Amino acid sequence: MKNNPATAARSEYRRTSSHCGTSPRKSKPPNKTAGFTLMELSITLAIAITISGMVFIAASGDNRAYRELHNTALMIQSDLRYAQRLSIIEGRRIYTRFNMNSDSYSIVSQSPANTFRYVNFPDGVEICGERTRGFWFDTTSSYIDIPFTPRGTYGTQAGTIYLQNGEHRLRITLTVSGGRALIRCYPESRCTCR
């Protein structure tokens, strides 16, 4: 098909006539409030993950000290119950003896002398001897003895042991109910060692 001069003139007329005497049509701007771009979301998410990671790392040291203290308290609770059961099975007086100088405890009997278990506290965990109440506390040798009779009873008086690791404190309480020792662990904010 050859270029026809009449067709070329008509197309030129159509092209120029739409803008004769009027301004060209303005298109609408795109809607900028529709949402966020993927790049903006990715950067925001990366910043949030980085900040939360920093907070977790900073707080994990403090949580580690509390976990060690809490696990030690649970271990002491378990061993006190073990000593109570052992006194019934053995039919003799069994002591849980806390050594204040070495931050350790053992489960012992006196006649015949026998050590059933010896446990060292983790680093940083200590017993607050001056705050311990209700138990026999030998100030000359720095021992706290918790005796269980051959019937598994603890005695007539309740007692409390205070543990500390850094700023964290827990107390282990033995209460007497019906001749049996009830052993509980509670957070303690008022206890200070030394």
**Other CB atoms within 10 A of residue 134 CB:** 17
Say what the pTM is: 0.61
Cα four-point dihedral sign 118, 121, 126, 128: negative
**Closest Cα to residue 66, out of 183, 167, 188, 185?**
167
User: How far is residue 189 CA from its own chain's centroid?
Assistant: 16
Instruction: Render pLDDT for 114-127 as a digit per residue (tens, 0 to 9).
Output: 889 999 998 888 88
| DSSP states along 52-107 | HHHHHHHHHHHHHHHHHHHHHHHHHHHHHHHHHHHHHHHTS-EEEEEETTTTEEEE
End-to-end CA distance of the chain: 107
Kindly list the domain boundaries of the chain, sorted by start residue.
61-187
Asked if 172 contacts 163 with a C-beta cutoff of 8 angstroms, the reply is yes
Instruction: With a cut of 70, say whether residue 137 has pLDDT above it.
Output: no
Would you state the pLDDT for residue 48?
92
Instruction: Render pLDDT for 160-177 as a digit per residue (tens, 0 to 9).
Output: 788 888 878 888 877 766
Question: pLDDT category, 7, cuts 50, 70, 90?
Answer: low
* Cα gap 124→18, rounded to integer Å: 87
Residues 6 or more apart in contact with residue 177 via CB below 8 angstroms: none
CATH classification number, 61-187, choose in 3.30.70.1450, 3.55.40.10, 2.60.40.1930, 3.40.30.10: 3.55.40.10
Question: pLDDT category, 194, cuts 50, 70, 90?
Answer: very low
Instruction: Render pLDDT for 73-114 as a digit per residue (tens, 0 to 9).
Output: 889 888 988 988 898 898 998 888 888 888 889 999 877 788
* Cα gap 174→163, rounded to integer Å: 14
Q: Residue with structure tokens 């378990």? A: 78
Would you state the pLDDT for residue 45?
92
Would you state the pLDDT for residue 108?
92
Instruction: Render pLDDT for 23-66 as a digit per residue (tens, 0 to 9).
Output: 556 666 666 666 788 899 999 999 999 998 888 777 666 678 88
Report residue 132 as tokens. 């311990």
* Cα gap 125→101, rounded to integer Å: 12
Report residue 25 as tokens. 């049509």
**Other CB atoms within 10 A of residue 174 CB:** 23
